[in-house]
């Protein structure tokens, strides 16, 4: 006698869908998946806007610092070569003023300030302008140049003997000028700056301002 096996016993038990599949096909799962995708994207976008705002603020502060220093230097008859702050005309007082003007940006860590005095070197009228004004082109030369003692080593001046004044800038016989350069490294990831100073996206902000001394004489460095 043959034994008849039921076909039902041969049927495999249907496999239950996995948790991920059930979540994706349910309303709750759809909301969860959207949350997981959209929230990080929104955080990334908001962070990007915040970093752009911080960068524009840093650019504005660097420009403001350079203009204010240049305006002050244009009114001084001379600068004392002393890095202390005992006198308002000391170089040290100017370096201190730069750090205060640049706050909350910290110029002393990742920044630089350079002051350059320019005079006419055609041929030897560097301190006293000629008695008779002349419209003839002068020869711009560096009278003296100083940088803050805390300047970052990789941030250097762009004023050189072959690049004293911008091309096309009017410089006549007997003219003089003062140049202030402010440089600042902007790190878009401020929270990681302590242990990642050269993070991806670090920008070097550079501002250079030219002014003519109010006295008509080249700004001198004494002491």
Is 42 contained in some domain? no
- How confident is residue 136, by pLDDT bands cut at 50, 70 and 90? confident
Strands annotated E in the chain: 78-80, 111-120, 140-147, 176-186, 203-211, 220-222
Q: Which class for 40: exposed (0-12), middle (13-18), buried (19 or more C-beta within 10 A)?
A: exposed
Domain count, the chain: 1
Is 192 contained in some domain? yes
CA distance to 23, 24, 43, 50, 214, per residue, from 36 (Å): 13, 12, 12, 22, 63
Is 108 contained in some domain? yes
**What is the model's pTM?**
0.76
pLDDT tens for 171-180 read 988 889 999 9
pLDDT for residue 59: 94
H/E element holding 30? Answer: helix 27-73
Is 3 contained in some domain? no
Helix/strand/coil for 207: strand
Is 175 contained in some domain? yes
How many Å is the maximal CA-CA distance in the chain?
Answer: 137
Average pLDDT, integer, range 12-33: 57
Q: Is pLDDT of 95 > 60?
A: yes
Is 90 contained in some domain? yes
pLDDT for residue 168: 85
- Enclosing domain of residue 80: 50-222
Is 93 contained in some domain? yes
pLDDT tens for 60-81 read 999 999 999 999 999 998 999 9
Q: Cα 116–120–125 angle (5° rounding)? A: 120
The first and second tokens of residue 154, run together, are 């990789």
Is 2 contained in some domain? no
Average pLDDT, integer, range 196-209: 80
């Amino acid at each position: 006698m043959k034994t008849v096996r039921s076909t039902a016993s041969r049927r495999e038990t249907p496999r239950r869908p996995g948790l991920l599949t059930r979540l994706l096909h349910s309303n709750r799962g759809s909301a969860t998946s959207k949350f997981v995708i959209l929230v990080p994207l929104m955080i990334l976008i908001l962070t990007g806007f915040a970093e752009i705002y911080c960068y524009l603020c840093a650019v504005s502060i660097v420009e403001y610092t350079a203009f204010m220093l240049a305006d002050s230097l244009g009114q001084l008859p001379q600068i004392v070569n002393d890095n202390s702050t005992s006198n308002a005309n000391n170089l040290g007082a100017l370096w201190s003023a730069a750090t205060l003007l640049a706050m909350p940006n910290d110029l002393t860590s990742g920044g630089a300030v350079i002051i350059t005095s320019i005079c006419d070197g055609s041929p030897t009228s560097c301190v006293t302008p000629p008695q008779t004004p002349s419209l003839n082109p002068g020869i711009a030369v560096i009278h003296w140049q100083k940088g803050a003692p805390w300047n970052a080593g990789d941030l250097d001046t762009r004023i050189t003997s072959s690049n004293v004044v911008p091309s096309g800038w009017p410089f006549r016989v007997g003219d003089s000028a003062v140049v202030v350069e402010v440089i600042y490294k902007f790190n878009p990831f401020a929270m990681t700056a302590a242990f990642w100073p050269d993070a991806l996206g670090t920008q070097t902000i550079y501002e250079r301002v030219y002014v003519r001394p109010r006295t008509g004489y080249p700004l001198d460095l004494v002491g």
